[in-house]
Amino acid sequence: MQLPSSSLKRSLPLFLLCCSMLVPPAAHAQGHGPEEAEAIEAMENQISRIQEQQLELQKDLMAMRRELAQHRARMHLGHPATTNEVAAREHAFSPHGIEGARQLARNSAMPTPTTAAHHLYPGEVPTPTIGEDTPTYAAIVAHRDEDMVNRLADNNVGPHPRETAGAQATGALGDHGVFHVGPVTVILGGYFDTSAVLENRHVASGTFNYWTAMPFPRDANYHQNNFEGSPRYSRFSLMARANIDSHTTVSGFVETDFGAGAETTNPYESNAYVPRLRQAYLSYDDTLEGTHLLIGQAWSLLTPGRAGIVARQESLPETIESSMLAGQTWTRQWQARYVHELLQHRLWFGLSIENPATIYDTTGFDNNNGSVPLPNGGTATIGANGTGLTEFTTNYSDEIAPDVIGKIAWDPAWGHYEAEGIVRFPHDRVFANGTGHNNTAIAGGGGGSAVLPLIPHKLEIHLAGLAGVGIGRYGSVLLPDVTLNAQGKPKPLPDAQATAGIVAHVNPRIDVYGYYGMQRSGRSYFSSGGSAYGYGNPMSSNAGCAIEMSPLACTASIRSVQEFTVGAWWRFLKGRYGTVEVGTQLAYSRLETWKAIGGAPSTSMSQIFFDFRYLPFQ
């Protein structure tokens, strides 16, 4: 039987090695005559030449393997390929995700991936064997770069579709921009963005909604339209990652944009917005033990997710507005997070200690950079303006302990579900009657979220909510966490926030979405000496809120903010050069206040957003 050429090439070195072992060594020729010794010496020389040829052949074979691997890598990254290869690769990176690629692999008679394929470096294509003509599923998806793509349980939600705005909002990394520095893989991410907003109220916050600044009819800004455009939310990220062993990974991630304004920033000449830190953290992942550690600045553990408890898989609205949505639960802050997973990546437990900050309401009080005089003659100190490397015009609250957050996530065969809780410790110091003492309140709450794949990878419903006391800072509206009682002690305010949305991935190039969001605050107040103190005090004055340029007061403690919004993204260019997309969004927001003297005024705002975005790494 004639062996294939590839099999012959693999068998020849082994055959030569066996022949060399059967030949007696030179030492055995010492007892023979001169002619026999010469014959043996000639045979040894021949064997030596054969061994040299064997080494050369091995070098040639290694070179052929490298060239073939590079050729197949080029095929998988967009160079000419077979129909099955193209279909499988595009399907693997589409919203259908891994399971779709796995099904295509079955239909194309491609082998299913092995466990080893899950531990390849991002961007690395498995070295094929000589004579392998059909690319494997593992070879097609091996250069996907997301940390957990091949490790997550299939919940029919899956990781973010890679080119969606939602994925980009979480800092998801692309398939291009991946290269190696020794054993470390460096992955570039982000996009170039230019967005604009046209609104029927003048709120000078650009495409970032600052709902608490929405004007009432007393303000001239209420009666003016406003247009503003900027590229300041262009985003750039970098990840460095290395495999410690076949199942353990260490990585670092940093992300930035230009969303901060320096004191010299102006809209008349330079528009000199400065870079700001979005995320910067290191993580350690052991998929064998199910242990995941993260420390640094990242999305809070309270932020809803869509798969496991995994960094860069947060479930965020696909909206253009950088404040995302009224009622959205989130912060980005320092944290030390521990996550453990069970049941083959389906059950997740997370615990995080996170950087605290408390938003105080001091309505009716005088507040001098965190020093608040009390009606009884004492003084409450709730914070201090920044100094050194912190912003000296920003007040930093006094804090005694970090926020403590716990979460459970469940990924059955259909949907993603979470339950979470938080405990906080608002803290101040009061000096009265010649003595001082510290005060600490207990605040916190609980909530949950869910992603329901009505049509897997095509149509999703997103639900999330959080309720408690002293948790206003964890909502997009930034309602206050606490106020002060008559003795100057922190008094946590009730708060509730919720979002509901539907997202349709119409096809790989078009997404359509609609959301509703709401955040509400309770009230706490007292009166002393004929003056009204606290949040939502019915003895406060709202008499001037509805009259333009009125000299009367407009206290207007916010009771609730609601937002309704719809929008769409269209990826009209997509290829090896990346993705270019355009988006538009319509939004309507309404603000209600607590009733006081003069009534309960309200205000509203309508907006239309536009966005062009180039994603070179997606």
Report the phi/psi class of residue 529: left, alpha or beta, with left for phi > 0 and alpha for psi in -120 to 50. Answer: left
Contacts of 382 (CB under 8 A, 6+ apart): 358, 360, 362, 370, 372, 397, 398, 428, 484, 490
Query: Is residue 149 over pLDDT 50?
Result: no
Give the pLDDT band (50/70/90) at residue 360: very high
CB 410 within 8 A of CB 404: no
* Token code pair at residue 562: 């609601």
Give the pLDDT band (50/70/90) at residue 78: very low
- Position 392 scores a pLDDT of 84
Q: How far is CA 303 from CA 223, 306, 314, 330, 485, in A?
A: 36, 10, 7, 5, 31
- Position 152 scores a pLDDT of 62
Give the pLDDT band (50/70/90) at residue 67: low
* Token code pair at residue 128: 């094929």
- Position 419 scores a pLDDT of 98
All domains in the chain, ordered by first residue: 137-615 (2.40.160.10)
State mean pLDDT over 353-369: 95
Query: Is residue 114 over pLDDT 50?
Result: no
Task: Fill in the amino acid letter for 574.
Answer: K
* CB-based burial label for 67 (10 Å; 0-12, 13-18, 19+): exposed
- Position 344 scores a pLDDT of 85
Contacts of 296 (CB under 8 A, 6+ apart): 279, 280, 281, 282, 334, 335
CB 346 within 8 A of CB 153: yes
State mean pLDDT over 138-161: 56
* Dihedral (CA of 197, 199, 203, 204) sign: positive
pLDDT, tens digit, 9 for 90 and up, residues 251-280: 999 999 999 887 788 888 888 899 999 999
The mean pLDDT value of the chain amounts to 83
Query: Is residue 561 over pLDDT 50?
Result: yes
Cα–Cα distance, 234 to 236 (Å, whole number) = 7
Give the pLDDT band (50/70/90) at residue 70: low
Query: Is residue 372 over pLDDT 70?
Result: yes
- Position 411 scores a pLDDT of 94
Q: How far is CA 518 from CA 481, 563, 608, in A?
A: 16, 6, 19
Q: How far is CA 568 from CA 157, 502, 506, 511, 517, in A?
A: 20, 12, 10, 5, 18
* Token code pair at residue 559: 């009771």
What does the DSSP assignment read for 322-350? Answer: TT--TT-B--EEEEEEEEEEETTTTEEEE
Query: Is residue 522 over pLDDT 90?
Result: yes
* CB-based burial label for 616 (10 Å; 0-12, 13-18, 19+): middle
Comparing 476 with 22, the larger pLDDT belongs to 476
Query: Is residue 3 over pLDDT 90?
Result: no
What does the DSSP assignment read for 195-222? Answer: EEEEESS--TTTTS--GGGPPPTTSGGG
- Position 288 scores a pLDDT of 86
pLDDT, tens digit, 9 for 90 and up, residues 432-484: 999 999 999 999 999 999 999 999 989 999 999 999 999 999 999 999 999 99
Query: Is residue 514 over pLDDT 70?
Result: yes
Comparing 478 with 141, the larger pLDDT belongs to 478
3-state helix/strand/coil string of 306-324: CCCCCCCCECCCCCCCCCC
Residue 405: CB atoms within 10 A of its CB come to 22
pLDDT, tens digit, 9 for 90 and up, residues 179-201: 889 999 899 999 999 999 999 99
Query: Is residue 28 over pLDDT 70?
Result: no
Find residue 174's DSSP bridge partners.
none
Query: Is residue 568 over pLDDT 80?
Result: yes
Render the burial of 503-541: b for 16+ CB within 10 Å, e for the rest: bbbeebeebbbebbbbbbbbbbbbbeeeebbbbbbebbb
- Position 33 scores a pLDDT of 63
CB 387 within 8 A of CB 369: no
State mean pLDDT over 386-405: 91
Angle at 506 between CA 505 and CA 511, to 5 degrees: 55
pLDDT, tens digit, 9 for 90 and up, residues 284-320: 999 889 999 999 999 999 999 998 998 988 999 999 9
Give the pLDDT band (50/70/90) at residue 333: very high
Give the pLDDT band (50/70/90) at residue 16: very low
Query: Is residue 64 over pLDDT 90?
Result: no
- Position 443 scores a pLDDT of 98
Task: Fill in the amino acid letter for 502.
Answer: I
% of the chain beyond a pLDDT of 90: 61
